[in-house]
A and B are shown apart, each in its own frame.
Chain A
Amino acid sequence: MGSTSAENGAGKSAETTAAQHGTDGVGRRALIKRSAALGLVSVPAMGFLSACASGGGGGESNDDTQGETSKDNPFGVKKGTKLDVVIFKGGYGDDYAKAWEAAFRKKWGVTSTHTGTQEITGKLQPRFNAGNPPDIVDNSGAQKIKIDVLHRNGQLLDLAEVLDAPSVDDPSKKVRDTVIPGTLDPGLQEGKVVALNYIYTVWGLWYSGKLFEENGWEVPKTWADFLAICKDAKSQGIGGLAHQGKYPYYINVAIMDLIAKKGGLDAMKAIDNLDPKAFVGSDAAQAAVEAVYEVVEKGYLMPGTNGLDHTESQTRWNQYKAAFITSGSWLENEQLKQTPPDFDMKFLPMPLLEGSEMPFEAIRAGSGEPFIIPAKAKNLPAAKEFMRMMLSREWSTLFAKEANSLTILKDGVDPSVQLRPGTQSTVEASKAAGDNTFRFLYTEWYSEMDTAIQNASNELMARRIQPKEWLKRAQAAVDKAAKDPASKKNRRE
């Protein structure tokens, strides 16, 4: 406090007016009434004051944080200023951000205030409303602030400036050309990238390298090989496939990936675009769901897996009770404590059905975890530079080490760095996949349809319905979503 910001001045003037009214010589009652009313008025002003106090380095106006620009310092970071960083402390923790901040201080002499929290909305909404937002925010988790709402209120910086700046690693390239194609799209609002979805997630099957080696199993490339391993596992009292049955989201990863790989991108787009033949009448969908049902019918599921939640089933899998499990690449970090040291976690693209359009290496992949820079950030130059550095190889590697996950930076992990085995295997799989990646969007667009398909999958896994019925129910969900006029807004080509 004690700084001379505009908000501070406003608070003071409100207090002075209150004092003036007090000396007007009106009756005591009227005085109390008036001062109460004025008290109400000055509450927001007090809010400014206290926000100022908790805002760490708040108080500097933008002029104070603007340094000289140069080739290495395109945004003009000023030494000795402060940066206010807020990180969603969820599955990935916030150690990676602390490591970044330490590196940032070393390079630029800018110290940061670090907040790691799950309550993004609770902590930040008042600050956005008071015009005193942090400088950079990882806006994720269940309590994130909706990006479209922030954008419509003019709270978000258009990140084009950062994306068009030269890359830290290779100044001849723009930052936007160093990221994996398509990963910026989820951050688009009305044609502008306002959020940087930083983490690159791949989905598929996972297995234990140790278990495979002990049993002499080869990595299955076709569905037939996959079933053969399940069969062998079963004969040894190990479950074949485990899935997080309480959340049918996970088994849908298997079903939907098989559909996309069998039928190609067209089969995927048919679902996202609510095609009347997305499921019923689609050979890919039929083949995929029958393939998954075969696992159920032959008893290759880990016993009881249909009723287990993600922690229970994944822990069982870590205890070598199943050969495979479905999940995304957050799995390794999520299971850090339960994974035995010699488990050798490995990622596996979904094995191929016969006559598939896509190669075995194709994977479902995409970006998540949106980072934003508030338009009213106090230290914009440093925030922009911070984001530019996030997309450097050094910081991307730091992230991979601390959070055991990949970033959207192309080839973004230094090969000399020792990663955990699961993360390492996703690096290799992502490289092998190249441009053969796909991502369903119906889960983001039509949550009701997604839920209906998940319910159908739950029934399929419990053998209460057959693949034919599954297709019918999934198609009914698609048709229902197509009837909603709002669905016309979403379309992918």
Chain B
Amino acid sequence: MRKGQYRFVAGFLLVPVALYLIFVIWPYIQTFGYSLTDWKGQSQTFDFVGLDNYKALFQDDIFMGAIWHNILFLVFIPVITILLALFFAFMLNAGGRGRAGGVSGVAGSKFYRVVYFFPQVLSLAILAVLFRAVYRSDGGGMLNGALVKLGLVDADRPVEWLNEPDFVLWALIVVVVWHGVGFYLVLFSAAMQSIPKDIYEAALIDGASRGQSFFRITLPLLWDSVQTAWVYLGIAAMDMFILVSTMTSGEFGGGPDHHSEVMATVMMRNFLYYGKSGYACAMGVIMLLLTLILSVVMLRATRRERIEF
């Protein structure tokens, strides 16, 4: 590049980089600054307290519990979503049998592809309303209504899905998975369609079963997409704020009795409701760190040799 061009490029970069610095990096730095104070969020008066907020954080059972819930989400949401999405994508693209010689999806795959994508077009807010109706704790709920009709549940003692410490996290996982599978199915489908058909045909001629062609051909060639999906889902699992705060009980959700608490809900409650804003900023910094570590670890752990085709 000639010298003049640097200036030209820099000129174009200046505005976006400035915006990024002002609206992304600077708030991060500010948050870190506030996390070292006893700021109460309503005025600009506060005292410097050093690392006290961070020390308190590690003795806060509620926040520690929230981290564990995030980790649980982190394990189960990506695994279940990716497995289901891979399975469906494979069935839609290469799972069909019957027609001699060709590799195709199961019958009606075009229809399913559209249907599976439906949940993805719903916003999280609508999703929360929808699933609150599904999990509703009296006979008016979809699940309870069906179970009562089938005689599996006593009408006087319906299952309070979102008010059961043992169910609430799983109930939330189901919502996220239901919502996400369609999107990752499309992502994986697109990647699968770029795999040359002759590889499958060659495998078929050699007598490969569905399972073998999936594990030996599809999965290795899809690895880039799976890796991306993993990072996205992982980041979503670290958040979960919208669903937890709207669906579960308590101020900013997290109920019953902190059993569905995630880091973001604890942070919001401390920030806005308890007025412990400095303390909440410390939580924000920890969240940022954990998410960064997570991204790095996942990208490293899933790194494989690239197969060119």
Contacts from A to B (Cβ < 8 Å): 146, 148-149, 152, 245-248, 299, 302-309, 312, 316, 447-448, 451, 454-456, 458-459, 462, 464
The CA of A18 and the CA of B162, in the complex, are separated in Å by 63
With A245-B163, A458-B163 in contact, is A308–B255 under 8 Å at CB? no
User: In the assembled complex, which residues on chain A have CB atoms less than 8 Å from the CB atom of B161?
Assistant: 307
The CA of A247 and the CA of B249, in the complex, are separated in Å by 6
- Bin the interface of chain B by size: 20 to 34
User: In the assembled complex, which residues on chain A have CB atoms less than 8 Å from the CB atom of B139?
Assistant: 303-304
- Assess whether A312 is in contact with B250, with CB atoms less than 8 Å apart: no
User: In the assembled complex, which residues on chain A have CB atoms less than 8 Å from the CB atom of B256?
Assistant: 455, 458-459, 462, 464
The CA of A316 and the CA of B138, in the complex, are separated in Å by 10
Contact segment of B25-33, B151-159, B285-293, B300-308 = B151-159
The CA of A302 and the CA of B157, in the complex, are separated in Å by 9
- Cβ of B251 within 8 Å of any chain A Cβ, yes or no, is yes
- Cβ of B160 within 8 Å of any chain A Cβ, yes or no, is yes
Q: Looking across the interface, which residue of chain A has its beta carbon closest to that of B148?
A: A303
A152 to chain B, nearest CB (A): 8
User: In the assembled complex, which residues on chain A have CB atoms less than 8 Å from the CB atom of B156?
Assistant: 299, 303
The CA of A464 and the CA of B42, in the complex, are separated in Å by 38
- Assess whether B249 is in contact with A304, with CB atoms less than 8 Å apart: no
- Besides A304-B141, A307-B249, A451-B250, 13 other CB < 8 A contacts? A148-B42, A149-B42, A152-B43, A245-B137, A245-B160, A245-B163, A246-B249, A303-B158, A304-B158, A306-B160, A307-B161, A458-B249, A464-B257
- Assess whether A308 is in contact with B137, with CB atoms less than 8 Å apart: yes
- Cβ of B273 within 8 Å of any chain A Cβ, yes or no, is yes
A248 to chain B, nearest CB (A): 7
B288 to chain A, nearest CB (A): 24
- Assess whether A248 is in contact with B138, with CB atoms less than 8 Å apart: no
Q: Is the interface of A mostly helix, strand, loop or mixed?
A: helix
A156 to chain B, nearest CB (A): 16
User: In the assembled complex, which residues on chain A have CB atoms less than 8 Å from the CB atom of B137?
Assistant: 245, 304-308
Q: Which 3 A-B pairs have the closest CB atoms?
A: A307-B137, A304-B138, A307-B160
- Assess whether B258 is in contact with A304, with CB atoms less than 8 Å apart: no
A-B contact pairs, 9 of them (CB 8 A): A146-B42, A247-B249, A248-B250, A304-B160, A307-B136, A307-B249, A312-B136, A455-B250, A464-B165
With A455-B250, A458-B163 in contact, is A303–B43 under 8 Å at CB? no
- Cβ of B68 within 8 Å of any chain A Cβ, yes or no, is no
Could you say which of A146, A304, A307 has the most chain B C-beta atoms within 10 Å of its C-beta?
A307
- Cβ of B144 within 8 Å of any chain A Cβ, yes or no, is yes
User: In the assembled complex, which residues on chain A have CB atoms less than 8 Å from the CB atom of B249?
Assistant: 245-248, 307, 458
User: In the assembled complex, which residues on chain A have CB atoms less than 8 Å from the CB atom of B155?
Assistant: 303
Q: Looking across the interface, which residue of chain A has its beta carbon closest to that of B276?
A: A448
- Assess whether B257 is in contact with A458, with CB atoms less than 8 Å apart: yes
- Cβ of B274 within 8 Å of any chain A Cβ, yes or no, is yes
- Assess whether B160 is in contact with A462, with CB atoms less than 8 Å apart: yes
The CA of A462 and the CA of B255, in the complex, are separated in Å by 12
- Assess whether A307 is in contact with B163, with CB atoms less than 8 Å apart: yes
